[in-house]
Amino acid sequence: MKILLTGAAGFIGRHIATALTDAGHHVTPLDIRTGTDVRDPTALDRLLPGTDAVCHQAAKVGLGVSLADLPDYTSTNAHGTAVLLAAMARHHTPRLVLASSMVVYGEGAYTCPDHGPVRPRPRDPDDLARGAFDPRCPHGDHHLNPATINEDAPTDPRNAYATTKLTQEHLAATWARETGGTAIALRYHNVYGPHMPADTPYAGVAALFRSALHAGRPPRVFEDGAQRRDFIHVRDVAAANLAALTRGGHPATLTAYNIATGHPHTVGEMATALATAHGGPHPITTGEYRLGDVRHIVAAPDRARTHLGFTATIPFTDGITEFATAPLA
């Protein structure tokens, strides 16, 4: 296949490029770092003819620093995707694999001892300030138990990045309906691995911890460290993209897949494992919080296993041990 890969020079993109090339596909790279912007229709008209599929990884990532980031998130993620989809329609490109994210869900799935499955209320800033980090039942003050979330759960983005990732999904669904194309959204959970960006507030928590360790500082764990996440190695994410480009999905619609291991860990556990493998210093738990963060989100990866034939293969301990000394970008 001839595949246009946007964000090809980025953290995840470079691993996808390797996986696709190793599998015998022809990769056409596009990345703003090398002078080609996904928002440039002229560049897309030059690169798209004859392309069998687009693997769209280009995006502004991370939680963001302030509301001043809103225009950039919207321009890069929403407008950039719209320009790309319009060009794909012009050139009759039939298949899209989109890098989406778990953040589109907002909070994960929960059950209440008295009310069963519930969607929790938004976390109260007063609760967070006094260290009460777990969300409450919408029908009272009951503590909730986190459960696995599947792709049919309601979406509830809580920050600029999440909102624009969901916008990308909606735009892709519109493109698929209008063109009869196949759109697949891969909802990445917490991706980590070699060549993560260093020392930037827009990086994921794994990169922030690894950057601190590299500088000789202890990783700073927010809240109480008990937030549950599914940490997945970037080479597994690349394998998921390869699978999605060659199977799965349905014409004229968008299908979403959780890309995760199915084996959650707390943020505190990850920080401790990383610090131990690196040789210290030991993480510190600060009690700090960010309003845009969610408490727990744990994935059900069954749909990707059934429809794409994808299962993550890199164990948490092995992946974290490698990452502890791997190069950062």
**What pLDDT is stored for residue 198 in this prediction?**
85
Nearest-angstrom CA–CA distance, 217 and 296: 26
Query: Nearest CA to 163 among 246, 249, 228, 76?
Result: 76
- What phi, psi does 239 have (nearest 5°)? -65, -35
pLDDT digits (tens, 9 = 90+) for 87-145: 999 999 999 999 999 999 998 999 999 999 998 888 889 999 999 999 889 998 788 99
Q: What letter represents residue 227's amino acid?
A: Q
CB 242 within 8 A of CB 19: yes
Query: Residue 104 has what DSSP assignment?
Result: G
Q: What is the pLDDT of residue 248?
A: 82
CA distance 329 to 320: 17
Tens digits of residue pLDDT in 289-303: 988 788 999 999 999
Chunked into runs of 10 residues, the chain (329 residues) has average pLDDT values of: 97 97 98 95 98 97 81 96 98 98 93 92 89 91 90 92 96 98 97 90 86 96 97 98 94 97 97 97 96 89 97 98 94
If one counts every other C-beta atom within 10 angstroms of the C-beta of residue 322, the result is 16
d(CA 230, CA 267): 9
First to last CA, the chain: 29
pLDDT value of residue 159: 87
User: Letter for the amino acid at 13?
Assistant: G
